[in-house]
Amino acid sequence: MANFKDWLKETFKALSPARVGEYIQESQVYRSIFRVGVPDSDRKRMLVMLGNVFLHLHPVKVRKSGIRMRYTWCMGGITFFLFLSLTFTGLLLMFYYRPTLEYAYVDIRDLREQVPLGIMREIHRWGAHAMVIAVWLHMYRVFMTGSYKPPREFNWNVGVILLVLTLLLSFTGYLLPWDQLAIWAITVGSNMARATPFAGHEGPGSALLKLGDIAFVNNQSDMRFALLGGRFVGEAALLRFYVLHCVGLPLVAGFLMAIHFWRIRRDGGISGPL
């Protein structure tokens, strides 16, 4: 009996959360993934930053003034996080959405009506709006702290391109629901391309580009046509915007973000007074 009691006690002890945690942390599987273990000492805290591919975006040590919310407003980080959320929810949306005139609108409608927990579209749309605002505020903060000054001139420029890409991502996505809001917003936006100097058929200078009677820049060969793949916002435009929105622009943006983050470290970390 006493033996059994002891045995029970031992078993309980062995199964207590703390012990189980230790077992797991000592197991070969765990050690093969997380080399450092629980970062409970300064040494381990540094090793963790070096050993993890995501965390190693950061340096091991940072200036205290640079990571203050008061200073960065956390806006670059928020932008990045929103970008990741948008990638994730966008991927889920791609399971359901087909970019054709026949299906586009119906698929979007069904997201709400047929798909369980159908708020992926909401998260994606509101996240996109929030990302635009966050990028603006991030640029605002970088300006107000003078962080574009040497040595960070180049990273500011990478940032400006990222800002443009963010707007283009949002713009191309706006068309995909294929409702009245979508096509008319894109029509208004892309009408501008018609007026590109020299390259749009209603732009200044385009009338000069002709040979005899043949105008080189007409409504089938101008900037707007190239953007939309047609003379109006139709199926070709939908496909073009879809491909750019889901593949082209995110790839370029992701690539530039990698450069942006790399440069932050190369330029001596988050800026601060000398």
Partner 1 sequence: MFIKDFINAITAPYFLITAAAILLLVSLKYPDKFYTSKSGAIVFACMFGFLGISVLDPNFRLIVTKADNVPIVGMLFLVPFFTWFALREAVRNDKRIAEGKPLVEQEETADKVLTWPDLVYTELICMVVLTVVLIGWSMALQAPLEEPANPSSSPNPSKAPWYFLGLQEMLVYFDPWLAGVVFPGLIIVGLMAIPYIDTNPKGNGYFTLRERRWEITTFLFGFLILWILLVILGTFLRGPNWNFFGPYEFWDIHKLEALVNVNLSEYIWVKGLGMGLPKNPIIREIFGFLVVLGYFLLIPPLLAKTWLKRFYQTLGPIRFHVMTFLLLAMTALPIKMVLRWLFNLKYIIGIPEYFFNI
Strands 210-211 and 214-215: antiparallel
183 contact partners, CB below 8 Å, separation of at least 6: 175, 233
d(CA 168, CA 174): 10
Alpha helices in 97-152 (DSSP H): 104-113, 120-144
Decide if residue 70 touches partner 1 (CB under 8 A). yes
Please choose, from the candidates 108, 96, 86, 90, the residue with its C-alpha nearest in 3D space to the C-alpha of residue 180. Answer: 108
Residue with tokens 């530039």: 256
Of 14 and 84, nearer to ligand HEM (C-beta) is 84
3-class secondary structure, 219: coil
Nearer to ligand HEM, 132 or 236 (CB): 132
Which residue sits closest to ligand HEM, CB atoms considered? 159
Asked if 249 touches ligand HEM (CB under 6 A), the answer is: no
Of ligand HEM, partner 1, none, which one does residue 184 interact with (CB within 5 to 8 Å by kind)?
partner 1
Q: Which is nearer to partner 1, 30 or 80 (CB)?
A: 80
- Round to whole Å and give the CA distance between 62 and 60: 7
User: Using CB under 8 A, which residues numbered 212 to 231 contact partner 1?
Assistant: none
CA atoms of 69 and 63, how far apart (whole Å): 13
Among positions 102-131, residues that touch partner 1 (CB under 8 A) are: 105, 108-109, 112, 119, 121-123, 125-127, 129-130
Chosen residue from 121, 124, 138, 245 binding ligand HEM by CB under 6 A: 138
Which positions touch ligand HEM (CB under 6 A)? Answer: 72, 75-77, 79-80, 83, 135, 138-139, 142, 145, 147-148, 152, 155-156, 159-160, 162-163, 166, 257, 260, 264, 270-271
